[in-house]
Amino acid sequence: MTAVAFDYTAPTTVDDALRALHAPGLTVTPLAGGQSLVPLLTRREIRPDVVVDLNGISALAGIDVGPDRVRIGAMTRLRDLEQHAELARALPVLASAAASVAHPHIRVRATLGGSLCHAAPAAALPAVAVALGADVVLRSVRGARSVPAARFASGAGTTVRARDEVLTEVTFPRIDGLAYEFSELCTRGSTGYPVVGVCLGLQVADGLVRTARVVVTGCGPVPARLPGVEAALAGRPVTGPHPELVASVAREAARGPGYEDQEYRAEVAGVLLLRALSARAGREGR
């Protein structure tokens, strides 16, 4: 199958892209790495009047590691997140989660902004952005606004982005005292799509968990924090065994509005949490 005919424009500035997107009465779709959009086009699941290609806008790409915040342009490729040495030191979980996505030939095209805007329920980077307390910056001809990553995805494949807004950058607070791990289960085979994932943030003192942050993916339409599990982790030794945590994650994650295999997914999330805990304990040398 091929896409329906559409007009195509390739602006080189953000302002030109915003003007192209602001076209009342027309369906105008931004194109980033195309890894999700192009299959949707060719299967005719979307039929835009105009495609606005963001690839020529150099101002939308780049990684700036500041003392308090890391700013990442929406068009930054996942491969660049994975290979940026300064980013790997500042936010190692972001680099490792980017590296977990599919194969290198997908990651050289796929972008951070595309991953967040596509909002697949089990995707890695939206979950990590929620766990790290990131903010998403959106611009349109009306101005700019910032939305917490935790409120950006509004459902499976949908976000609060207005049709004429471009996601321009994502900002991550640099120091929150927690160290993070990302662990996921993917489908087998060459595509390796994610099924369930867990992003765990821990602050540990004297071998005990002081603060925990737990975000699960693939157990509901959007990445979700599990406050009950976070509370249950506080005060525990970081080293296991913690078999009851699997049940605790399963209970909380299974409450999401359901997949047919919701119970299985929730149980997998519990096992992934144990893996993340064990990886953290290993890194802390315990």
Ligand X SMILES: Cc1cc2nc3c(=O)[nH]c(=O)nc-3n(C[C@H](O)[C@H](O)[C@H](O)COP(=O)(O)OP(=O)(O)OC[C@H]3O[C@@H](n4cnc5c(N)ncnc54)[C@H](O)[C@@H]3O)c2cc1C
Instruction: Please report, as ranges, the residues that interact with ligand X according to CB under 6 A.
Output: 29-37, 54, 74, 101-102, 106, 109-111, 113-115, 117-118, 123-125, 161, 166-167, 186, 191-194
As measured in angstroms, the least distance from the Cβ of 32 to ligand X is: 3
**Residue 166 or residue 281: which is nearer to ligand X going by CB?**
166
**Residue 137 or residue 246: which is nearer to ligand X going by CB?**
137
Cβ pair 59, 71 in contact under 8 A: no
**Residue 1 or residue 175: which is nearer to ligand X going by CB?**
1
As measured in angstroms, the least distance from the Cβ of 131 to ligand X is: 14
146/245 Cα distance (integer angstroms) = 35
Cβ pair 183, 198 in contact under 8 A: yes
As measured in angstroms, the least distance from the Cβ of 55 to ligand X is: 9
As measured in angstroms, the least distance from the Cβ of 124 to ligand X is: 4
**Residue 59 or residue 279: which is nearer to ligand X going by CB?**
59
**Residue 48 or residue 201: which is nearer to ligand X going by CB?**
48
As measured in angstroms, the least distance from the Cβ of 259 to ligand X is: 17
Cβ–Cβ contacts within 10 Å for residue 105, how many?
10
SS3 263: helix
226/230 Cα distance (integer angstroms) = 6
Burial 72-90 (b: 16+ CB within 10 A, else e): bbbbbbbbbbbebeebbeb
Cβ–Cβ contacts within 10 Å for residue 126, how many?
31
Residue with the CB atom nearest ligand X in the bound state: 114
In the chain, the amino acid numbered 46 is: I
